[in-house]
Amino acid sequence: MDYYSTKITALIEELSRLPGIGAKSAGRLAFHLIGMPQEDVDRLTDTIQKAKRTVRYCKECCTLTDSEICPICASPQRDHAQIMVVENTRDLAAYEKTGKYNGVYHVLHGAISPALGIGPADIKLKELMKRLQGDVDEVIIATNSSLEGETTAMYLSKLIKPTGIKVTRIASGVPVGGDLEYIDEVTLLRALEGRTQL
């Protein structure tokens, strides 16, 4: 039995298709949108439509951008000989927030996962290998420490090492504020292996 009009029900259904939005959150969002002033709703829908029409892959690093080349790749202040490989644009943003990395990126838009039917041809590996034909000194593999991320890192390492380019992997280990007793063995081992001198 429908509690709402067909238009409200349709809006809730569409919003619930978004990742991380369940039926209750979709309902709250739907009623919030309906209660908003018309000009705010128009601005929101216009912004969504413009983003959908104009956002594309950067020709260099494959991140999402609204210009041909993203601001990071276009910057002459960045070290273009150092490429950090990440799984998605959100990972790139996380590293940028640290303000400590001055190289450029390459966004794979996924990770190799045989279980899900995602192979090397399904992510932006071809584009990365093309970039490596240029003047590149180091590739930093910054994929997640999940099974898929590790598989992708191993595959990348085997693919890149024969080119003579230095390949490194980000360290992973104990999170700040984490209690050792609750951390799994693999993470503890990584923390031990990635230790640095004080």
Domain extent, residue 1, equals 1-37
In a domain, 45, yes or no: no
Task: Please give the pLDDT value at position 74.
Answer: 96
pLDDT tens digit sequence for 39-87: 999 999 999 999 999 999 999 999 999 999 999 999 999 999 999 999 9
pLDDT tens digit sequence for 131-180: 999 899 999 998 888 888 889 999 999 999 999 999 998 877 766 666 66
Q: How many CA atoms lie within 13 A of 113 on its CB side?
A: 14
For residue 5, what pLDDT band results from cuts at 50, 70 and 90? Answer: confident
Task: Please give the pLDDT value at position 1.
Answer: 43
How many Cβ atoms are within 10 Å of 142's Cβ, its own excluded? 22
Check whether residue 163 and residue 88 sit in a common domain. Answer: yes
User: What average pLDDT is seen over the chain?
Assistant: 89
171: its two tokens: 């360290």
For residues 180-198, average pLDDT? 68
Check whether residue 104 and residue 173 sit in a common domain. Answer: yes
In total, how many domains does the chain have? 2
Euclidean distance between CA atoms 125 and 107, whole angstroms: 9
In a domain, 55, yes or no: no
Check whether residue 29 and residue 91 sit in a common domain. Answer: no
For residue 197, what pLDDT band results from cuts at 50, 70 and 90? Answer: low
Cβ proximity of 194 and 174 under 8 Å: no
CATH number, domain at 90? 3.40.1360.10
In a domain, 70, yes or no: no
Reduced to 3 states (helix: H, G, I; strand: E, B; else coil), residue 138 is strand
For residues 115-135, average pLDDT? 92
For residues 117-122, average pLDDT? 91
Residue 14: C-alpha distances to residues 37, 49, 135, 168 (Å): 20, 16, 46, 43
Percent of the residues in the chain that have a pLDDT greater than 70, as a whole number = 90
